[in-house]
Amino acid sequence: MARSGVLYVHVAQAAARLVAAGHNPTIDSIRAALGGTGSKSTLAPLLKRWKAAHPGTLAQAELGLPAELVLALKGLYEKVQAEAAIQLQQAVESHQTEAAALQEQLQQAFVERDALLSVQAQQTLALATATTRSQELADTVQRQEIVLAGLSSEKLGLEQRLADRAAEVVSLTQQLQQARVQFEHYQASVAQQRSDERQAAEQRQQRLEHELAALRQHLLAQQTHLGELQAREQRLVQDHDLLKDTLRTTQEAFTQSRSALEQVALQFAELKQAHQTLEQRHGQGEQWLAETRTHLAVSERERSLLAERLTRAESQLTALATEKQRLLQEKAVLSSQLAEFRAERGQP
């Protein structure tokens, strides 16, 4: 608050006198003109008020210019300031328009980015699904290859048996021809031998009937086995329907194997009808042996796959144990460092 001895009128009169003398009124000059009375905190707001009320006089005192010129310069300055303010307002509005457009573009970019992130997530999920499906297909292919290997082994066994029986047919045909020559020779020479031969023929007929019954039983077993093969083939065909594009080669090989099996079965039936004595000599031992070898090969393959998986699992367990040991060591080191840090700071 101004002191009671110094009023605005005193400051105004002192300032007017200083201006009339050609001096610029300041706080110190006003205080000197008032005889050294008044504090600066009291004089400063009063002098500021006077300067605001007499800008022309103040400019004339500061610059030595006429008041009219100062007012004209002030009007020009205000006009320039107004035009500059208008231009600034226009620039601000233009900037705001551009900023709004850029903000809209940025929002659109954010939307597009979110869409791309969503698409990327969907593609990642699709990739994971495709990877899983690919692994499932690979496993299915591997199982089909094992089954195909078993069928190929069975096919090779049947072809070998067919070749063996063909050789035996040739041998038996030769023996039959020789027996016929001998029979005709003895038939012409000895009637008793005819009776013996007739009895032998009857016995042979009975034996052949027994062999025929055994062959029928064996044929029934073969048909049962063939039915099982056909049922297995049907299951494989159902699986192959889902994998037609990726397992076409396997399907063709399986179809060829099926045709070969049907041809072998047909040839085996024809061979059975023509040579009934072959099945009694060879029996079912070779069939069971071939099937046992096939199942053994399949089991060995599966055991090998299981052993590989077990080895990989053991390797992973070893790596996890090593990682756990390393983490425990790091934890011990961090615990030691924490204890040292607490000891240095005097914390319990």
From first to last of its 348 residues, the chain has per-residue pLDDT tens of 444 578 899 999 999 898 888 788 899 999 999 888 888 899 999 999 998 887 766 655 555 555 556 566 667 877 888 888 898 889 889 889 988 989 999 999 889 999 999 889 999 998 989 889 889 988 888 888 898 888 878 888 888 888 888 888 788 888 878 877 887 786 777 678 777 878 887 888 888 788 878 868 876 887 887 788 778 778 866 776 776 776 687 668 668 867 766 886 787 777 777 667 757 777 776 777 778 688 778 878 888 888 788 888 788 888 888 888 888 888 888 888 888 887 877 765
Give helix 191-242 / helix 248-274 axis angle, nearest 10°: 170
Q: Which residues of 310-321 are buried (b: 16+ CB within 10 A; e: fewer)?
A: eeeeeeeeeeee
Q: Which two tokens stand for residue 299?
A: 């089991």
This prediction's pTM? 0.25
Angular region, 22: left φ>0, alpha ψ -120 to 50, beta rest: left
Residue 1: what pLDDT?
40
User: Could you tell me if 254 and 148 are in contact, meaning their C-beta atoms sit under 8 angstroms apart?
Assistant: yes
Q: How far apart are CA 134 and CA 251, in angstroms?
A: 18
Question: Is 293 in a helix, a strand, or coil?
Answer: helix
The structure tokens 């024809």 sit at 270
Residue 236: what pLDDT?
66
User: H or E element: which one contains 288?
Assistant: helix 285-345
Q: Which two tokens stand for residue 180?
A: 């016929």
Alpha helices, DSSP H, located in the chain: 8-20, 27-33, 40-53, 55-63, 67-189, 191-242, 248-274, 278-282, 285-345
Q: From the CB of residue 275, how many other CB atoms can be counted at a distance below 10 Å?
A: 17
Residue 63: what pLDDT?
52
Residue 45: what pLDDT?
93
Residue 58: what pLDDT?
62
User: Could you tell me if 211 and 279 are in contact, meaning their C-beta atoms sit under 8 angstroms apart?
Assistant: yes
Q: How far apart are CA 69 and CA 75, in angstroms?
A: 10
Distance from the Cα of residue 104 to its chain's centroid: 35
> In terms of residues, how long is the chain?
348
C-alpha pair distances (Å), 5 with each of 11, 38, 46, 139, 232: 11, 8, 13, 108, 123
Q: How far apart are CA 214 and CA 259, in angstroms?
A: 27
